[in-house]
Chain A
């Protein structure tokens, strides 16, 4: 524009002066006719870069910057979008850097409440493009900081979505975050984000995805016991038993005081009937949760189960009784604790008789019988309590019927028998 203006001023002066102009370089002072000069100047003017538009695009970028400075974001966007499309500026790192900045402002000033903000994504992708084009590394650091800032905002939006239970959106956003954060920090693996994707995927029943992300988080040593718990549960639900037990054990080793991991292990070992592994785990669980009566009941039942092996009766049956009594101290009106202890004594008595060999002599039989009477008498108060607390529980009635019969209280035994028959008729 300046060149054209200059030419016009010259033309105007020529016309004003009506003088003959000397030829440049003519020694004899030859003269150019004004008309010719005007023509020459016009030709020069039409071919000047400003007039031909060759230098228009840097001005678009400048304009974009100008609009940005003035807060005219829409105009800034238009200008920079055009600059990004033009062949002369589309490969400049500066163009894309400016675009990322403009769109960043669009996001922060107009779309920050929108967790799906398109401007934010454009900004990030523009910054990435700028980095790719930035052979002189003039803009890369700035772009990386911008990406980190925006990626972090995506993480926050993902977390909000997760807190609100919008799991699909959370997954999408966390995965975006993980993708974008690699641009400024290619070696970074955000274990917490990996975990949260895993968690969200689990809630959304995308089990394979959940499994993959939880594994990655754990492999990065993510510091949260829940990761082990979730992954253990997933393996268990897929009946991948050994993997489940292994990961839970790893979690337990790392977090020995974590109650939920321990209890999950206990439950799984019980289901697998791996009784031998349970005693220590249950004792530890009780230490951590001393008022949890279920743990006492579990431990007592483990002892009962171990005592099934004859060699262990002497050692483990008394332990079971001690634990049941502790449970009853904790909750005197717990039906299961009372019933379980009552039936333990009852079973012990009956089993003593049933284990008698046909060749046993009468003296030995007498001793066993005396022991059984004692055991029935120990059993009775707990069974009667259990019956009082849950009068319709059939198993308690059957036990009571047997105890009364064993102790020779045939009338009471018959009364209980009638109650059992009433219950059976109701079914």
Chain B
């Protein structure tokens, strides 16, 4: 008697899977831009001279508002870094009233409308005012971030820097878009 053929249904869960090799967390372009801005701001400290009176104690970088991306990036950068001999400290000023004496003050785009009030607040301080909205270099900012976001660039208004007693290196001027 010949053996009958066995028809085995291979019900086999072959996984042509919706397969993911444990995908990486998706990085964020906005966070990348914040990182770029942080690098720029840190680099600025190498090209700008603050008056002697501002070289005591910590080097304070202030951020106005609640932009957590740039705040977190700055805090990361500040850990263990110095501007000259000063330890870098990052402060978050939630409102204009919170602003105190600082070496650098960054005004994110959505806080730009308050620039006049900010300028009033930092009168007498040796503060490098940095913004990121078109036209701000003409409204009092010493440095204004411009360009398409990932292709970041910056405008430099030296006169606005000098108002606060800051000396800008020519090396930086050569890299910047000059605004009078």
Contacts and interface: CB of A to CB of B under 8 A. Distances in A.
A267 interface: yes
Contact of A356 (B10, B39, B151, B175): B39
A281 to B, nearest CB: 13
B15 A267 contact: yes
Contacts of A149: 1
A4 B5 CA distance: 62
Interface residues of A, number: 60
Given A160-B4, A350-B32, A373 B24 contact: no
B20 A360 contact: no
A156 B29 contact: no
Interface centre among A346, A349, A358, A395 (most CB of B within 10 A): A358
Interface string A384-407: 000000000001001101110111
Contacts of A350: 27-29, 31-32
A407 B1 contact: no
A162 interface: yes
Contacts of B149: 405-408, 410
Contacts of A280: none
Contact of B148 (A302, A398, A401, A408): A408
B4 A358 contact: no
B178 interface: no
B71 to A, nearest CB: 16
Contacts of B31: 350, 354
Interface stretch (A87-95, A292-300, A322-330): A292-300
A62 interface: no
Interface SS of chain A: helix
A167 to B, nearest CB: 11
A406 B4 contact: no
Contacts of B38: 358
A297 B19 contact: yes
Contacts of B33: 353, 405-406
Interface of B: 1, 3-8, 10, 12, 14-17, 19-24, 26-33, 35-36, 38-40, 42-43, 77, 81, 147-152, 175
Interface of A: 149, 152-153, 155-156, 159-160, 162-163, 196, 199, 226, 229, 260, 263-264, 267, 270, 273, 275, 292, 294-295, 297-298, 301-302, 304-305, 308, 343, 346-347, 349-351, 353-354, 356, 358, 360-362, 365, 369-370, 372-373, 376, 395, 398-399, 401-403, 405-408, 410
Nearest 9 A/B pairs, CB to CB: A408-B148, A402-B29, A406-B150, A353-B32, A350-B27, A406-B29, A294-B16, A350-B32, A301-B21
23 contacts: A149-B1, A155-B3, A156-B1, A229-B12, A267-B17, A275-B21, A294-B19, A301-B20, A301-B23, A305-B22, A308-B24, A346-B29, A350-B29, A354-B35, A358-B42, A370-B151, A372-B150, A373-B150, A373-B151, A376-B150, A398-B28, A402-B30, A403-B29
